[in-house]
Each structure stands twice: as structure tokens, then as C-alpha cells.
Amino acid sequence: MEPSILENFVERACSAAACENPTAALRSLLEESISDKTAMAEAIARQPDDEVLIFENETCSIWTCRYHSDVVLPPHEHLMTVHIAVYRGNEVEILYHRDADRLRHAKNRVVLEGEVVSLGPDAVHAVTAEGDMPSYAIHIYEGATTQVTRSLFDWTSGGEIEFTMANFHAMLRKPTDVEELQ
């Protein structure tokens, strides 16, 4: 049986993540994968959940992501570089600066269908989709996201909160609630 588009992608991403310059290699792979964005979007659409970890080792974590415009994921950090390719729809990165005692909204970055963007290891962001259709993306992290202790950030105070899935889901917001906080 021929490997699926995602299986093939994972194999290529593992090679890219293990090379001498993983940042350049992973971005190149994602930029190349945009040429088959319809097939990638359809593969992401078939995933059982909106966020699915499809592969992880010490060099990379690969997630398929579907985001909807009626929900905003809470501010969080990754502590490693992440590369994002959007195959369908538009993904909104709500970027924050960390001050000593609070989180401060910096800007929103809309990642359009067919674009690749990278966020550095110090980035703090919330995520949603823009428009009537969900965004379909692949996020590749330069490390094992499930093996690091990360934080969520309280929407109001900006204080750090332990990153657990229970906390993550409890902190989901509607876009109108987030706009009031920016």
C-alpha cells in the first residue's frame, strides 16, 4: 500500500528536522507542501479532532490543526520554534509580549491560505481562524512539545497557568470576548 500524504510528509519532516539547519529545511518542506494544498487540506479534514499530534520525537512534533472563527485558543507558549503552513482558510496568530507582570497584546498576524510563518521560541500567542471557513494547517515544532513544561496565560491578568488540557479547554474564548482584552 502506498503511504498517505501525511505519512509521506512526516517522513520528509523527520529528515528535515534532523539535518544541520532544521529551521531552513522545515520551512522549505512546508513551502513545497503548499503546492499540494488541496490534498493536504483534505488529509487534515479527515483527522478525528481539530488538533492531532501525528508524530513526535526529540527533533520535532507535527500537529494537524483545524481552527474555527467562533473560538479563540488561549495565550500559550511553546518554548521552541514553530513553523506553520496554512493549506485552507486563514489562521490568525494573536501575538503577545511578556512584560514582567503581565501579557501585552502586540499585534495580530493573519496567515493566509498558502503561506508559511515561523514563530520563535519566546513567542506567546493565541490562535483562531478568520472568515466563514475553518483554517487547516500543519504546525511543526522543533522539539517534543509533550516533553516540555509549558504555560498558558490568563486572559485578564497575563499570569502564568499550568498548561494542562483541562486548563486549555477551560480558557477557550469567543472572539468578542478576546477583542475586549486587546
pLDDT tens, residue order, the chain (182 aa): 456 999 999 999 999 999 999 999 999 999 999 999 999 999 999 999 999 999 999 999 999 999 999 999 999 999 999 999 999 999 999 999 988 777 888 999 999 999 999 999 999 999 999 999 999 999 999 999 999 999 999 988 888 999 998 999 999 999 888 764 45
Which residues are CB-contacts of 96 (< 8 A; sequence separation ≥ 6)?
Answer: 75, 103, 104, 105, 106, 124, 125, 126, 153, 158
**Cell numbers of 19, please?**
539535518
Neighbouring CB atoms inside 10 A of 52's CB total 14
Domains and CATH numbers, the chain: 5-179 (2.60.120.10)
Helices (H), 34-174: 37-45, 165-170
pLDDT at 71: 96
Cβ-contact 101, 158 below 8 angstroms = yes
Query: How far, in Å, CA of 144 to CA of 62, rounded?
Result: 9
* pLDDT score of 5: 94
pTM of the complete model beyond 0.75: yes
| Residue labelled with grid coordinates 539535518 | 19
pLDDT at 9: 97
E strand or H helix at 85:
strand 82-88
